Amino acid sequence: MKTALLSVWDKTGVIELAQKLADADWRLVASGGTARTLRAAGLDVTEVRQITGEPEMFDGRVKTLHPAIHAGLLARDTEADRADLAARGWEAIDLVVVNLYPFEQVVANPETTLAEAIENIDIGGVALLRAAAKNFVRVTVLSDPGDYPEDLFTLEDEAYRQRMARKAFITTARYDAAIQDYFTALEGEPETLQLTLYPAQTLRYGENPHQSAAYYTLQPGGGPMGGKLLQGKPLSYNNLLDLDCAWNAVYNFEGTAVVVVKHASPCGIASAPYVGQAIAPAIASDPVSAFGSVIASNQTIDVEFVMGLGDLFVECIAAPYITENALKLLSARKNLRLLQIPLNVLPFEYELRSVFGGFLRQQIDGENLAEAPAWRVVTKRQPTPEEMNALKFAWKAVQPVKSNAILLAHSDGEINFTVGIGGGQPNRVDCVRIAGERAGERAAGSVLASDAFFPFPDGVQAAAELGVTAIIQPGGSVRDEQVIAAADELGLAMIFTGVRHFRH
């Protein structure tokens, strides 16, 4: 009779797996809460203490840390090892099903005390995983409920056991790294960055056909951007970069919003009460660039949204949900990729960038700063209510644009939309001109958002020539007084936010 040892914090699927094992005449050995769960399900369970001859100690701190358990795991399939086990009256263990105390989730709560963190450091579980993984030639180790096999014959495959051993070692390495980082933070020292990434997709190529590329996720089997591809060919390297820009931009809006992105730069952004009202003005911001773009919405895509697309060719659309009727209409677009990303997929707290010989890490930029300064109207003229609506929208919309970012926008009180976006140029005046060229006649009466301060009055003067009536910018230039004076002379309203959103 084969023996399985089960000791899990996350009990997802464990009863179903244990039932399969029992039906195949395996002996079930379990500890603590796992034993109680299986027994409550009507399964015959041998408790660990019956194997070790010792009760659990120290409120469960010591359960499986015993030679009778670890010898059963580490014994090789040799005559000598079998004899050693038999001499002590112990038996081999053939399968270990273990997942660990949720240390990372517990310490993610800022209210967690040191004592609580320590109690959530798993010792026995880590030891079981490592012992079983070391002896994968004979023992199978399952560290993730997602790996529980449909067919128990899978356990006979040594290649499968080796893959599961690798995953167990990855799990314990990540777990130890999280504990190290927690204690390092307590000392006020910078944490050591240790990334474990799982290959999710081999891409056809990178930014160019001669560059090989692949997509990795933080969890095994993760989907693109934490979502699911509903339609279309696999996403390309450039698709993923564009979608990342679009999703981060649209995620920043509390209300309904649509963002159109081309070459990792927003070319149209709109917010409205309903998603179907936002798509057309977002595209109209720069319809030439919108051809072959990716589009993201932070609300459910419906038929009205699809109608707003018209016959525009789009590479990808991302949204938290797409209605059945909208899916039917979009399925006729054979070259369109549809990506569903749940809104509960949270953005990273930090971002990493590779540079020659190293990496840069920074906190993700966002407007929801704990101590953001109050906005100040610095000109003689106050913004009108309509201008203020547009300025609030424009300030949020300009953040994902590459610097020197300039964005022109309008608002009718309900629908807010960009009419021209300029960014990524070496100087800010050129970006004002580019935004004006995109807007054309729509620049008249628009408001302007600038991600960083105007270093000279020339940017304000160029905006006024376009017909801009109000400006929002961080302020902070040594020539702020000259810039404000130029705005007053031209009759513009201007707000200083005190926060810069520069994006290289």
> Which CA distances in Å does 31 have to 9, 180, 268?
11, 27, 57
Choosing from 134, 380, 392, 410, the catalytic residue is 134
3-class SS of residue 380 = coil
Spatial contact of 388 and 491, defined as CB atoms under 8 Å apart: no
Q: What is the DSSP string of 6-17?
A: EEESS-TTHHHH
Spatial contact of 449 and 391, defined as CB atoms under 8 Å apart: yes
Peptide bond into 404 cis (omega under 30): yes
Choosing from 2, 11, 20, 263, the catalytic residue is 263
Nearest CA-CA partner of 141 in 179, 99, 196, 97: 97
Cα–Cα distance measured from residue 24 to residue 154, given in angstroms and rounded to the nearest whole number:
13
Cα–Cα distance measured from residue 133 to residue 169, given in angstroms and rounded to the nearest whole number:
7
Q: What are phi and psi of 210, to 5 degrees?
A: -85, 0
Say what angle helices 458-466 and 480-490 make with each other, to 10 degrees: 20
Nearest CA-CA partner of 159 in 129, 137, 143: 137
- Secondary structure of 381-393 in HEC code, one letter for each residue: CCCCHHHHHHHHH
Position of tokens 């320590």? 118
DSSP state of 479: T
Active site residue 70: no
Tokens for 292?
A: 């072959």
**What's at 212, amino acid-wise?**
S
Active site residue 134: yes
Q: What is the DSSP string of 222-260?
A: PPGGGSEEEESSPPPHHHHHHHHHHHHHHHT-SS-EEEE
- CA 13 remoteness from chain centre: 26
Spatial contact of 231 and 336, defined as CB atoms under 8 Å apart: yes
Give the residue numbers marked as catalytic: 134, 263
